[in-house]
């Protein structure tokens, strides 16, 4: 199975830096709490100096959303939403050891980190692309929506949308849970330092998964317009 960004996405967003990681053998009982706490503390330390709305990583996604005709304060990228919640409550939600780890890393680096159940994706292709308008998206409550034509989404070969408004919200259909055994992790940055940040995020996820055997055999790659494809879930 392949993951990629469509050529139109790369062409329309030349500041995009992206990376992907796959792993198998996910352990729903893995103890990632210490790493989650450490990355959360890093995010809190940064928030002590400035609100997330001033972070260059967040501002870059706000500009991207505005350029797509979205109100950035209504539709926030996932990392901004996590940071906003963390600033207000002092904690991040605890959902699953792998999701918790990826959320904490996302907050620490202030860029979106999506983690999907690879077995809930219909191949052979998962592509970040503008929606045609007939894709189906299932939210976390089970309700079905249809992304508007032109909205950037993660669309698989069955026409299922695994995200709304690109990095705003993932789908409940491919959410990681107790049943998950294989994952696909995607991180995307738009800010000027994205080429430095994305490899650090991939390394942090891979190291974190291995540190507590939360998953095995992580494989990661940077994605570029000339090398846009990542094989996963084989």
Whole-number pLDDT of residue 212: 85
**pLDDT for residue 223 is more than 80:** yes
Mean pLDDT of the chain, nearest integer:
97
Using omega within 30 degrees of 0 as the cis cutoff, is the peptide bond preceding 162 cis?
no
pLDDT digits over 16-65, tens only? 999 999 999 999 999 999 999 999 999 999 999 999 999 999 999 999 99
What b/e string do you get for 138-164 counting C-beta neighbours within 10 Å, with b at 16 or more? beeeeeeeebeeebbbbbbeeebbbbb
Distance CA 129, CA 10 (A): 10
| Count of CB atoms situated within 10 Å of the CB of 25 | 13
The contacts of residue 48 (CB under 8 Å, 6+ apart) are: none
- CA distances to 89, 180, 185, 226 from 106, rounded to whole Å, are 17, 20, 11, 26
Distance CA 218, CA 210 (A): 8
Whole-number pLDDT of residue 233: 82
**pLDDT for residue 234 is more than 90:** no
Q: In the predicted model, what is the mean pLDDT of residues 199-209?
A: 98
pLDDT digits over 116-149, tens only? 999 999 999 999 999 999 999 999 999 999 999 9
Q: What percentage of the chain exceeds 90 in pLDDT?
A: 99
pLDDT digits over 150-175, tens only? 999 999 999 999 999 999 999 999 99
Sequence-separated contacts (24+) of 147-154 with Cβ below 8 Å: 151/68, 152/9, 152/68, 152/128, 153/128, 153/129, 154/114, 154/116, 154/126, 154/127, 154/128, 154/186
């Amino acid at each position: 199975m392949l993951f990629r960004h469509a050529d139109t996405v790369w062409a329309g967003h030349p500041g995009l830096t992206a990376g992907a990681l796959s792993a198998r053998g996910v352990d729903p009982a893995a103890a990632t709490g210490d790493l989650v706490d450490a990355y959360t503390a890093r995010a809190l330390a940064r928030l002590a100096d400035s609100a997330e709305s001033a972070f260059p990583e967040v501002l870059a996604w706000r500009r991207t959303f505005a350029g797509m005709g979205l109100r950035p304060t209504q539709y926030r990228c996932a990392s901004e939403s996590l940071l906003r919640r963390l600033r207000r409550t002092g904690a991040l939600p605890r959902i699953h050891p792998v999701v918790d780890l990826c959320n904490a890393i996302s907050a620490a680096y202030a860029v979106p980190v999506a983690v999907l159940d690879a077995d809930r994706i219909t191949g052979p292709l998962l592509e970040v692309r503008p929606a045609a308008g007939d894709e189906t998206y299932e939210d976390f409550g089970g309700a079905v929506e249809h992304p508007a034509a032109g909205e950037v989404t993660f669309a698989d070969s069955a026409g299922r949308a695994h995200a709304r408004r690109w990095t705003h919200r993932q789908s409940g259909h491919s959410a990681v849970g107790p049943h998950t055994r294989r994952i696909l992790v995607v991180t995307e940055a738009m800010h000027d330092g994205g080429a430095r940040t994305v490899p650090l995020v991939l390394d942090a996820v891979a190291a974190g998964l291995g540190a507590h055997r939360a998953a095995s055999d992580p494989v990661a790659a940077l994605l570029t317009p000339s090398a846009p494809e990542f094989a996963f879930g084989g």
